[in-house]
């Protein structure tokens, strides 16, 4: 099976009914020199799904989209790694715009929210070579048809849209959006990507509470810096935070 509506993403699809993590499997595939850009690893169920900050990613088997994409962004400098995050989050946003009655938002760096609740997450793992990125594994988990969640802060597309989705159909659609945004990056449209990412960023220019070193503070997200760090305006002025340095309250 391959998808029809793309040039190179999803021309090779590796489906496994279950695995530890599609990112693990994709990283293993990359050890074979023949692993082509655009290869997808997709599963119904992960036994050790991984999230950001060392978190686990657990979802109900067979109900959701759980996949990893192999890309070879050799054109991208290591300092521009965050553009892969922007590409993936934005493409997911674009895809949801066609399916969700209410718009999604991107919670920095790459959580996908609908109605303020988390419906998806992204875990990107890059392999570096010299000054560039030889390959990247783009892991995406989107809650689609699942109805029950352990955390009340989670939701799914079906809960929001009030109908179920055919996973194969929306899988192909998601991939075409990812390819479009990735081609924008390959063609050097960095400014457009950054503009669109910021336009859909959760709590941009809003006063809210954050946590840094167990200290709560109030601040206003003003953007991201050249490395993708979050810029928050605080009483001290503009400060940049990486993933380990700040959390949302």
Give the shortest CB-110-to-ligand BTN separation in angstroms.
7
Give the shortest CB-54-to-ligand BTN separation in angstroms.
9
What is the C-alpha separation between 10 and 54, in angstroms, rounded? 28
CB closer to ligand BTN out of 54 and 237: 54
CB closer to ligand BTN out of 76 and 112: 112
Give the shortest CB-236-to-ligand BTN separation in angstroms.
29
CB closer to ligand BTN out of 41 and 239: 41
CB closer to ligand BTN out of 38 and 121: 121
What is the C-alpha separation between 84 and 181, in angstroms, rounded? 9
> Mind giving me the DSSP string for the chain?
---SS-SSTTSSEEEEEEES-HHHHHHHHTTSTT--TT-EEEEEEESS-B-GGG-B----TTSSEEEEEEE--TTSBGGGTHHHHHHHHHHHHHHHHTT-SS-EEEETTTEEEETTEEEEEEEEEEEEETTEEEEEEEEEEE--S----SSTTB--HHHHHTS---HHHHHHHHHHHHHHHHHHHHTT-HHHHHHHHHHTBTTBT-EEEEEETTEEEEEEEEEE-TTSPEEEEETTEEEEE-GGG-EE-
CB closer to ligand BTN out of 67 and 133: 67
CB closer to ligand BTN out of 124 and 239: 124
What is the C-alpha separation between 85 and 103, in angstroms, rounded? 19
Give the shortest CB-188-to-ligand BTN separation in angstroms.
28
Residues of this chain that interact with ligand BTN (CB under 6 A) are 21-23, 46, 49-52, 55, 57, 66-68, 111, 121-123, 139-141
CB closer to ligand BTN out of 67 and 232: 67
What is the C-alpha separation between 203 and 200, in angstroms, rounded? 9
Give the shortest CB-69-to-ligand BTN separation in angstroms.
10
Give the shortest CB-23-to-ligand BTN separation in angstroms.
4
Give the shortest CB-136-to-ligand BTN separation in angstroms.
13
């Amino acid at each position: 099976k391959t998808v029809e509506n793309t040039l190179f993403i999803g021309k090779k699809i590796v489906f496994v009914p279950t695995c530890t993590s599609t990112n693990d499997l994709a990283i293993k595939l990359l050890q074979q020199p023949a692993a082509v850009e655009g290869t997808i690893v997709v599963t119904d169920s992960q036994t050790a799904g991984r999230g950001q900050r060392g978190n686990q990613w657990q979802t109900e088997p067979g109900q959701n989209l759980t996949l990893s994409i192999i890309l070879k962004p050799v054109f991208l400098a290591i300092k521009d790694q965050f553009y892969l995050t922007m590409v993936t989050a934005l493409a997911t946003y674009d895809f949801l715009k066609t399916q969700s009655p209410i718009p999604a938002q991107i919670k920095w760096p790459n959580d996908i929210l609908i109605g303020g609740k988390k419906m998806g997450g992204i875990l990107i793992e890059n392999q570096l070579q010299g000054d560039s990125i030889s390959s990247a594994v783009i892991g995406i988990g989107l809650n689609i048809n699942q109805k029950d969640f352990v955390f009340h802060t989670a939701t799914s597309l079906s809960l929001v849209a009030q109908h179920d989705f055919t996973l194969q159909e929306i899988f192909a659609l998601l991939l075409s959006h990812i390819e479009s945004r990735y081609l924008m990056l390959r063609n050097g449209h960095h400014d457009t990507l950054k503009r669109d990412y910021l336009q859909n960023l959760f709590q941009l220019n809003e006063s809210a509470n954050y946590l840094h070193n167990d200290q709560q503070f109030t601040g206003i997200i003003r953007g991201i810096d050249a490395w993708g760090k979050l810029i928050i305006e605080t009483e001290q002025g503009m400060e940049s935070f990486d993933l380990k340095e700040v959390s949302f309250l």
